[in-house]
Amino acid sequence: MLLSNDMSRMTAFKAMLSWELRRVRLSIGCAVLCSMVEMVPWLCLYFFVQAIYDQQSPYEYLVVMAAALMARYALYTLAVWYAHLAAYHIIQKIRQHMVLALADMKIDKLRSLKRGDIEKRISDDCQSLEPLIAHHGTDIINGVLMPFFMTVFLFYIDWRIALIALAPLPLALSAQFLMMRGFATRQEKYTQIVSNMHQAQLEFLRSIGVMKLFAVDANSYLELSRTIHSHNTMVSGYTKKMVGAWVTFVTLAQISLILVVPVAIALNNMGQLTLVDLMMVVCISAGILKPWLDLTQVFSQIQQSIVSIDRILPFCHAKEQSEVVYDQDLQQLSCENLMVTRGASRVFENVNLSFLPGQRVLIEGDSGAGKSTLLSTLSGSLTPKHGGWKINKGFVTDLDDESRSRYIAVVDQEVTFFSGTLRDNLALAKRVIKDDEIWSLLDLLGLKDLVADLPELLSCDVGEVSRCFSGGEMQRLAILRAALAKTPILILDEATAHLDQLSEQTVLAGLRQYSPNQIQLIISHRPRQVKQVDVRLNIIAGNVEEVSLG
One domain for residues 399 and 478 = yes
One domain for residues 390 and 534 = yes
Q: State pTM to two decimals.
A: 0.60
One domain for residues 87 and 223 = yes
Find the mean pLDDT for residues 289-318. 71
Give the pLDDT of residue 29. 92
Find the mean pLDDT for residues 143-150. 82
Whether 500 has a pLDDT exceeding 70, the answer reads yes
One domain for residues 23 and 138 = yes
User: What whole-number distance in Å separates Cα of residue 340 and Cα of residue 347?
Assistant: 5
What CATH number does the domain containing 72 carry?
1.20.1560.10
One domain for residues 234 and 347 = no
Q: Which of 258, 289, 315 is the last residue of a domain?
A: 315
One domain for residues 395 and 502 = yes
Whether 224 has a pLDDT exceeding 70, the answer reads no
One domain for residues 103 and 169 = yes
One domain for residues 359 and 311 = no
User: What whole-number distance in Å separates Cα of residue 149 and Cα of residue 128?
Assistant: 31
Find the mean pLDDT for residues 164-177. 68
Give the pLDDT of residue 74. 93
User: Which is more confident, 62 or 239?
Assistant: 62
What CATH number does the domain containing 349 carry?
3.40.50.300
Report the DSSP pairing between strands 333-342 and 345-355.
antiparallel
Position 324 in a domain? no
Q: Which of 286, 315, 344 is the last residue of a domain?
A: 315
Query: Of the candidates 403, 430, 377, which has an alpha carbon nearest to the alpha carbon of residue 325?
Result: 403
One domain for residues 54 and 144 = yes
One domain for residues 301 and 350 = no
Number of domains comprising the chain: 2
Position 321 in a domain? no
One domain for residues 303 and 347 = no
Q: Which of 253, 283, 315 is the last residue of a domain?
A: 315
Whether 530 has a pLDDT exceeding 90, the answer reads no
Q: Which domain holds residue 445?
A: 333-547
Hey, what long-range contacts does 319-322 have (CB within 8 A, 24 or more apart)? 319/104, 320/104, 320/105, 320/106, 320/400, 322/398, 322/399, 322/400, 322/403
Position 104 in a domain? yes
Task: Convert the pLDDT of each residue in 32-54 to its tens digit.
Answer: 999 899 889 888 888 888 888 88
User: Which is more confident, 536 or 429?
Assistant: 536
Span between the terminal Cα atoms of the chain, in Å: 64
Position 283 in a domain? yes
Position 165 in a domain? yes
